[in-house]
Structure 1
Amino acid sequence: MLSKRLLPRSLFGRWLLLLVAPVVVLQALLTYIFYERHWDTVTRRLALGLAGEIAVVIDTRSQNPDPTVLGDLLVRMQRALEIDITFTPGADFPSDVPPPRRYSILDRMLIQALGERLSLPYMIDTQRGGGRIVIYVQMPDALMTVVAPENRVFSTSTYAFIIWMAAASVVLLGIAVLFLRNQIKPIRRLAEAADAFGKGRDISNFRPTGAEEVRAAARAFMAMRDRIRRHIRERTDMLAGVSHDLRTPLTRMKLQLSMMPPAQETEELRGDVEEMEKMVEAYLAFARGQSEQPAEPTDLTGLIQELADDVRRRGRELQITVAEPVTLPLRRLSFKRALANLIENALRFGQEVRLSVGRRSGRIEIRIEDDGPGLPEKEHHKVFRPFYRTDQSRHGSGNVGLGLTIARDAVLAHGGEISLGQSDLGGLLVTIRLPV
């Protein structure tokens, strides 16, 4: 569980991790192997060579006290090995020599090599600078000072190896990042197209690009989009055609009823015909809501004000609270019909109706609430079904049962959400959340 939390959330981050992790592990292993097997071995051998040369000088001075012989040896070592050796009679170790560095491989290897080759006390100074090291050997009658180039003990190829390896890794990772970005772009475009299609927006400019697998996914998405559009179009045309055809017999029935003498049976039939006419109008409204309309930037505040004016002309009042002007890509007629159905539903069952618009959690939230009888919580998910009506619900007489269905479909077609709840006024609260 912890490992999943540590993984990057994005595909780009995970692909980058798959590239970076092996490179880092490989570099760590190569550096360790080089450090242990090459750098350590080479430095140790160089240190042993220098310590052996110092031991030869000490042995020569002890066995042959002739200064001429010793001087000739020191001159040849200076010329061939670039080692400067001097003897200070009666001197002791300098007091200003810094202690060996604890984590320095040079200090560690030099101390080990001198300890193996020399039996006399010694001190090292590798911090003098200038690319030189100093070794002090305390002899019985003098202080031996050895000044040698640092490259006699330390291999500088290590730094070059690490620099070249790091530089090559940075260049390769840079190329990999550019390549990954280009591979991720088609996937992001596919996700944006799917999101836009879910919100009912036009995606006519979308084209399959990228790797073959991404192109296959894009082509499958486009085929699915076309099938959904065709299915909606066919269902809408069928529903609109059936509803339109029903108007003809209803009109004949109304004409025949108007010519019949008044009677109780006639009035009952006339009521049935009027209810059927309302149902047909609801079917047509539902079909119009399912039709494909282009989403255009719409002033939501102005649209709500139009609905409030319509309510006011009917002698009712709709309280509006808009936190800020909002413009969204909407199918204007479809969304206006959805809000009108919700407002009409609230006006039918409540005396006081409020509509508020605000921005919450990066989404536009529309709240419609009333002071009516409300709905039991168990009915909240049922009332969105087409033609669902119950005597205990807010669907009274004259209601076909498509108002909330039309509203829900319109909201979902815009990529939004609709939910029901308890209003502060005591009635029903309808909340619509739309993406920005």
Structure 2
Amino acid sequence: MIPRFRFWPRTLGAQLIVVISLAIFLSNGAVALWFELGAERLNEADLVQRMLERTRDLSSLMTSIPPKARMAAATAMEGRFWRYRVQPTAHDRAPMTSREAKLAARLETLLPPRHAQGPVEVHIHYGKPPGVELPPDMQRPDTMSLIMTVPIVRGSELVATYIRPPGPPWPTEMILAALLSVLITSVAGAYIARNMARPLTKLAEAAAATARGEPAPRVPEVGPDDVRRAAEAFNTMTDQVTRTLESQRHLLSAVGHDLRTPITAMRINIEFVSDPELQERLQKNLEELQVLTEAVLSAARGTGGEPSRQIDLSALVESICADLDDLGEPVDWAGHAAAPLSCRAGEVRRAIRNLVENAVAYGGKAEVSLHDVPGGYEVRVEDRGPGIPPEERQRVFEPFVRLEISRNLETGGTGLGLTLVKAIAEGHGGRIMLEDRDEGHGLRARLFLPRPPANAHS
């Protein structure tokens, strides 16, 4: 796995381009270094051989022409990198290094046998060579000169100076070549990354939409084989999940509707029961069954099927509180500015109403407020009741779980209210949390609903 550095790019396309570019740059550097060192050795060996041979040829020419013509011939053969002069034999010689001595020995073996006797010297000099004027572009400390001294006839000698101009340092050439390679490979990498990342981006967007409870969009089954197979697997999975959820929803709905018919028939039959006490017990059992049936139908309609639309969440919560207040329920609404939100309004209304009714039923009073939080809104419903023990706060979201052990519908409900709230919250990409109030008395329910990025506050 590639380590995550501070400035490491986070997208697949950018990471692919960076990795390819670094690989190309490093490989070019290694190859350039290898070939530069090898080419430098070969080029220098060939260049030294040509310099020695040219000096040999010119010294042989000097021995065959009159002394007065030697200086003119030497001047005529000069060039940009070659300088010649004929001078009397010098007796004060600078010592040669081992490398210079080897070059001098090679030059001496190239001279004809009848060549004038005398010392052959070679000196390597950096900077401005003695007695030679250099053009401005060669006046640099790293300019190398090879100064070869060869005897012509007794009492005179030829001094041949070869000026080797410094070329651009090999790292510069390597960097230029690497940058060109990086540019070309980055374009190719961007093309590959685009073809690879686009299906993955679509896959991530589809997965996020599914997590929010929206209808799962089809992911394009394109791209490399691995990515295409992932898209195919995702489409197959979402189809199966959709069919399963629809099947469960239809089953619950069918069971709820089918229960209504015998319940209605039993209500009619109860009227013919002559025992008042038995009739009262049967009527009470039927009412519990009726409440449970309606809860099942409500759960079946809980999430899915309703399209999202833009609403004012503040107005929605205010209307719920107003409705319950008109029914005589003790509900306080703190008020809030307009809160635009795209959601399935019917589901959100059902979830908030369940929370408020729970607060009234178990805490005697509901205090409702709306808050702007990073990424969305938070509906808070607080009460002054006994609360819920921390170890039970996750279990109460499970279907048909009631902390009231009597199983009485009047005191414990059906056990589906918080389950429905949790399903609606997660279907919108949000969450529901239960906690103690700050004062330590009562329970606070916090329903978080995310805003789309376009509506999020900065």
Which of the five TM-score ranges fits, normalised by the shorter chain?
A: 0.7 to 0.9
The equivalent residue for 1:228 is: 241
Say if 1:346 and 1:162 are closer, same or farther in 2 by CA, change over 3 A. Answer: closer
CA separation in 1, counterparts of 2:285 and 2:368? 35
CA separation in 2, counterparts of 1:434 and 1:288? 19
The equivalent residue for 1:130 is: 137
* Bigger proportion of residues as helix: 1
1:413 and 2:422 correspond:
no
Normalised to the residue count of structure 1, the TM-score between the two structures is 0.77
Report Cα offsets for 1:78-137 as digits up to 9, x if no partner: 05x752346999xxxxxxxxxxxxxxxxxxxxx976996556695524996425658597
1:435 and 2:412 correspond:
no
Report Cα offsets for 1:249-270 as digits up to 9, x if no partner: 2223333334545733332222
The equivalent residue for 2:82 is: 83
CA separation in 2, counterparts of 1:432 and 1:334? 13
Q: Paired residue for 1:189, among 190, 202, 213?
A: 202
**Secondary structure of the structure 1 residue equivalent to 2:378:** strand
Is the 8 Å Cα contact of residues 342 and 404 (structure 1) preserved in structure 2?
yes
Superposition pairs of residues 119-268 of structure 1, within 5 angstroms = 122=125, 124-125=127-128, 129-131=136-138, 133=143, 148=163, 150=165, 154=167, 163-164=176-177, 166-204=179-217, 206-261=219-274, 263-268=276-281
Tell me, which stretches of 5 or more residues in structure 1 are unaligned? 90-110
**2:137 counterpart letter in structure 1:** G
The equivalent residue for 2:456 is: none
1:283 and 2:286 correspond:
no
Say if 1:116 and 1:185 are closer, same or farther in 2 by CA, change over 3 A. Answer: same
CA separation in 2, counterparts of 1:311 and 1:125? 101
1:403 and 2:417 correspond:
yes
CA-CA distance at 1:185 after TM superposition: 0.5
Report Cα offsets for 1:199-256 as digits up to 9, x if no partner: 1224546533323332332222222222222222222222122222222222233333
**2:201 counterpart letter in structure 1:** R
Normalised to the residue count of structure 2, the TM-score between the two structures is 0.74
User: Over aligned residues, Cα RMSD in angstroms?
Assistant: 4.3
Say if 1:165 and 1:334 are closer, same or farther in 2 by CA, change over 3 A. Answer: closer
CA separation in 2, counterparts of 1:5 and 1:155? 37
**1:302 counterpart letter in structure 2:** A
Is the 8 Å Cα contact of residues 411 and 432 (structure 1) preserved in structure 2?
yes
State how many pairs are aligned. 411
The equivalent residue for 1:331 is: 344
Say if 1:162 and 1:419 are closer, same or farther in 2 by CA, change over 3 A. Answer: closer
Report Cα offsets for 1:315-360 as digits up to 9, x if no partner: 32223354x6433331211121111101111111224433333343
The equivalent residue for 1:5 is: 4
The equivalent residue for 1:379 is: 392
- Which protein has the larger Cα radius of gyration, Structure 1 or Structure 2? 2
The equivalent residue for 1:294 is: 307
**Secondary structure of the structure 1 residue equivalent to 2:37:** helix
Tell me, which stretches of 5 or more residues in structure 2 are unaligned? 89-97, 105-120, 150-158, 452-458
CA separation in 2, counterparts of 1:16 and 1:365? 41
CA separation in 2, counterparts of 1:338 and 1:138? 99
Is the 8 Å Cα contact of residues 370 and 377 (structure 2) preserved in structure 1?
yes
CA-CA distance at 1:373 after TM superposition: 0.9
**Secondary structure of the structure 1 residue equivalent to 2:220:** coil
% identity of equivalent residues: 25
